[in-house]
Each structure stands twice: as structure tokens, then as C-alpha cells.
Amino acid sequence: MEDRAEKVENFRREYLEINTYNRPTFCPECGGVMVFKGVGEYRCEKCDCQIFDDYGKVRNYLEKHHGATTAQVADATGVSQKSIRDMLKEDRLEITTGSKTFLQCEMCGTSIRGGRLCPKCEVNYHRNLEAQARMGHKSGYSGFSTQKPAVDDGSKRFTRDR
Ligand SMILES: [Zn+2]
Ligand SMILES: [Zn+2]
């Protein structure tokens, strides 16, 4: 019998280490929580600004520059060559298109083309991080762009000035 909860927890810890790629947690502009949109793209839930993590930057670059070398990609994106090599090793970058190797999502076991999680589980994973980031917000951060101090009465509150 396997302890599924423990398995997921172990995986989550491991995944966190290899998959952060400088994931933006908070918006550098307004401090809002960055929400994962897919393939390395994040949007601030407050001011809607868009940020890419290292994986997103590398992927964007490779989309426009097919066949670029690791050194060229590192140069253009500012992502270290080591990180790029890690992504390749992890098969996050689908450089070999047409490959029929089927991998399995490590969370739910569904077939995936690359990486370690299916898109659904990857989104869930990020939703968890975002929820944690919001919890962290409650104590401490008060610089909301509306300039109103956040009143934390436990209920979710969206303030609008106009
Ligand atoms: Zn923002
Ligand atoms: Zn999955």
C-alpha cells in the first residue's frame, strides 16, 4: 500500500526545487500576487502586468530563434546556461518535436509530452503557491495600489476607487 499523500508531498518538495526558475511570486510594480498563466507566463492579479520566469524567457526566445545554442540563449535572456541545460535535461523544452515518447504526469499519471506534470496539475501546483502567497500577504504587506489600508476582517474584499 502506498501513502499517496506522502508521495505527493515528497514530489511537491522536489518539484519546488527544480521548477522555480525564478518564478515571480509578487509583482515588482505593486506587490500583487503573480498568477500563473501557463508556459512560464505570469500576470499580476492587481495591475495585470506580465512577467515571465526563466523558462518563459527561454521558451519565448527559442520560438523566435530556432536552433539557437545554449550560449546564445543565455546571452539574450540573461538566464544562466546551467538553468537552460537543466530545462533541457528535464525535457521542459520541446526541442525534439515529433518525439513520440510519452511521459506520465507525476501527480495524476496522465500522458504528457514533456516536463513532469500535465498542464492541469501544473496549474494546480501554481494555484497552491499563489494561495500561500496571499496568506503571506495578510500579515505584513499593506501597500495596495488603491492606497487604502487593507481591512482584514476575514472576508474577501475587493476595493475599487471608482
Ligand atoms: Zn502588479
Ligand atoms: Zn496531472
What is this structure's pTM?
0.60
- What is the C-alpha to C-alpha distance for residues 62 and 57, in angstroms, rounded to an integer? 9
Q: How confident is the model at residue 49 (pLDDT cuts 50, 70, 90)?
A: very high
**Quick one: which ligand is closest to 50's CA?**
1
Closest CA to 57 of 91, 25, 32, 93: 93
What's the whole-number average pLDDT of the chain? 77
What is the rounded (10 degree) CA torsion for 126, 132, 135, 139? -120
| pLDDT at position 138 | 56
| pLDDT at position 31 | 95
In the predicted model, what is the mean pLDDT of residues 58-76? 91
CB-CB contact of 45 with 144 (8 Å): no
| pLDDT at position 64 | 93
Ligand 2 centroid from CA 109, angstroms: 6
Give all strands (DSSP E) within 11-96, no chain letters.
34-38, 41-44, 50-52
- What is the C-alpha to C-alpha distance for residues 87 and 84, in angstroms, rounded to an integer? 5
Q: Where are the domains of the chain?
A: 4-138
Ligand 2 centroid from CA 111, angstroms: 8
Per the document, the length of the chain is 162
